[in-house]
Amino acid sequence: MDCIFCKIAAGQIPCEKIYEDENVLAFLDIGPLSEGHTLVIPKQHFTKIHECPAQLLAQIGSVLPKVAGAVFKGMTSDGYNVLCNNGKAAGQLVEHIHFHIIPRIAGDGVFTQWPAKKYQPGKVEKISEKIRAKL
Ligand code: 5GP
Ligand code: ZN
């Protein structure tokens, strides 16, 4: 499979490594939104969160506080975003699950849009039912 993150996980392509264990790797993003922008990936290839075994996601989840804390403290940032794009429509360019940890400084303008909307009366119940039916 021609996957850049599989190649990084296998050591075939270099990366600036932050953390590694048997199942999880964290490294600096080559195109950072802010200095210290870090990616956390499973070494095994899955494309989207809902396709990934819960146990592997739990292993990634157990690494996130360690890496996020190190990014936050190491970059002396004011906060950070943890972001996981799933699918092209959501902005996923590399089709291997990855969690972005993006250090933020107050007023840095990294994300300027959050286009929040409102539900029309009666809609919220219908939407929640559609989702619960797929659990
Ligand atoms: P996505 O848009 O898929 O959520 O984000 C993919 C991220 O991977 C981008 O932020 C991009 O800069 C990063 N990226 C793509 N190719 C490489 C690479 O070869 N090395 C590293 N370190 N990061 C990469
Ligand atoms: Zn992959």
Give tens-digit pLDDT for 41-92. 999 999 999 999 999 999 999 999 999 999 999 999 999 999 999 999 999 9
45 among known catalytic residues = no
Segment 111-126 mean pLDDT? 96
* pLDDT the model gives residue 54: 98
Has residue 1 got a pLDDT over 80? no
Give the ligand whose atoms come closest to the C-alpha of residue 98: 1
- Other residues' Cβ atoms within 10 Å of the Cβ of residue 15: 20
The catalytic position among 37, 45, 98, 100 is 98
In the chain the domains, ranked by start, together with CATH numbers, are 4-132 (3.30.428.10)
User: In this predicted model, which residue has the larger pLDDT, 5 or 1?
Assistant: 5
Which H helix or E strand runs over 39? strand 38-42
pLDDT in tens, 9-31: 999 999 999 999 999 999 999 99
User: Is residue 99 within 8 Å of 86, Cβ to Cβ?
Assistant: no
Instruction: Return mean pLDDT, the chain.
Output: 97
Q: Which of 7, 93, 99, 102 to mutate to test the pocket of ligand 1 (most atoms within 8 A of CB)?
A: 93
Give the ligand whose atoms come closest to the C-alpha of residue 6: 2
